[in-house]
Chain A
Amino acid sequence: MVEKRTLICVSCPVGCELTVTLDEGKIVEVEGNSCKLGIDYAEQEIFDPRRMVATTVKVKNGYHPLVPVYTEKPVPKPKIFDILAEVRKVEVEAPVKVNQVIIENVLDTGINIIASRDLPKA
């Protein structure tokens, strides 16, 4: 079964519009890219789309009620909202240090969620 999908490559600011032809679930052609990065992007985005996720987590006794956190590496796109739900369950005690691990190996992705900044006590 042949299908075509369009993607915008975001490897660099150019933003080439890619047309990816798949046959039996395998990429047979990538059109519209202006460099190799587009081919890599198409592979990644079709089979294992990933995103960096940044959000905030509740803090107890902190200078602010929240501290910003992020995934150390891009996480699978289909898991974004589940990951956000996991973060919602957590309340971390101040003080927080930048890069402190807030959730280790979130939802078995092998990726940690870490603090983006120092946050002192209230």
Chain B
Amino acid sequence: MLKKDTYDVVIIGSGPGGLAAAVEAKKEGAQDVLVIERDTELGGILLQCIHNGFGAEIFNEDLPGPSYAQRYIDESLALGVETLMDTIVLEVTPDRKIFASSKLHGFVEITARAIVLAMGCRERTRAMIQIPGMRPAGVYTAGTAQRFVNIEGKMPGEKVVILGSGDIGLIMARRLTFEGAKVERVCEILPYLSGLTRNYVQCLQDFDIPLQFRHTVKFIYGKDRVEAVEIAEVDDKWKYIPGSEEMIPCDTLLLSVGLIPENELSRQAGVELDPITGGPYVDESRQTNVPGIFAAGNVVHVYDLADWVTLAGYEAGKGAARYAKAIRARESDHIPVIAGKNVHHVVPQTINKRNLENEEIELQLRVLKPIEERTLIEVHDGKNQITRKVARYVRPGEMNTIVLKPRHFADIEKASSITVEVNPR
């Protein structure tokens, strides 16, 4: 359950970017840091990246994704980072209100002094590259397939063709082979590898999985489930070369054709997006054009290594914490002036402690109900009276005033709020 409705720093997403931001925000002195994660556990995409290749830069180790995440999860919790899991953020407003929804926590509304957007990416889909053919079950983006294999523990196919030589596709070629599926072919439309050479060697070459450059999927066959794909070679303009077609019987087509930063929330918050990256414009502290909203990781632009996402997360966390601290300082300069017993309203509603010097402050108020006898107008800080005034009567139609004098300021500065009350004498 949420204990507060205002946080110094709220981080959306607990992948490498979000967790790094959380850790650094705490170290930079943010008083409360909340991570909101839509999955039921922390770690984001790292949880399904069970292969090694993480931590070379940061830890000088070769770790699998979940272990890398575990380091940051442990450190976050040790630092007192709060978390809201199985909760999805529905909207972020430009003035940093967050609406989120959860089966466990219900409908959540919080305000953040600073926000770090760390929502990562989504995968490019079949429709976005317009692969013709039928629409059977068995066409998956590589990340969705990875989730099934590694987290849900289910195999999405036995005989697989992979389109795209990006890292996710290469990694899944090996993973599926390890679990007894047959990867028939990997096709890449470009004339060169999209992913890391290391992955070509250790995921395809090691298992004799053929890779064809300048090839793509021309048609998907199968009414209910994929039955075959027709691949073809393409020319420089990506047009099919007649006569190069080949039918490959299979039951699964995996797509590893690119990642797209996921910025729907950013857009709604008024964050300006760079059309070239698909992510927000950010400055050196990872702040977007909206004051107090920062962004880090794949949501800004697609990274090759999680380690570098972590470094960006540190920057954003630091920036967000500093921003939050500045806001807190401004807030704590102001103390609320509260309308207490029999007071309808008081103006001014806040006093800026920084401005208390030698000038009197007049509080103007109207009462709720008339009292036709001698009345006491009091100002107190919850414990002690600060000043008082006697009135012959009070009526809602006639405004009353009470003056705070410089000799009262010492008490006022110590208070977290002051209250005006009106009682019969």
Contact = CB atoms under 8 A, between A and B. Distances in A.
A116 B67 contact: yes
A99 B70 CA distance: 10
A77 B206 contact: yes
Contacts of B64: 54, 68, 70, 116
Contacts of A84: 178
Interface residues of B, number: 29
Interface stretch (B96-104, B192-200, B321-329, B363-371): B192-200
| Chain A, interface residues (CB within 8 Å), range | 20 to 34
B387 interface: no
Contacts of A70: 50, 52, 64, 67
Interface of A is mostly: loop
B390 interface: no
Contacts of A51: 202, 206
Interface of A: 8, 10, 13-15, 51-56, 63-66, 68, 70, 77, 84, 98-99, 116-118
B414 to A, nearest CB: 46
A70 B63 CA distance: 9
Contacts of A52: 51-52, 62
B50 to A, nearest CB: 4
B245 to A, nearest CB: 30
Given A56-B50, A68-B64, A98 B70 contact: yes
A116 B49 CA distance: 10
Contacts of B179: 55
Given A8-B201, A13-B196, A55-B178, A117 B153 contact: no
Contacts of B151: 64, 66
Contact of A10 (B47, B69, B178, B202): B202
Nearest to A10: B198
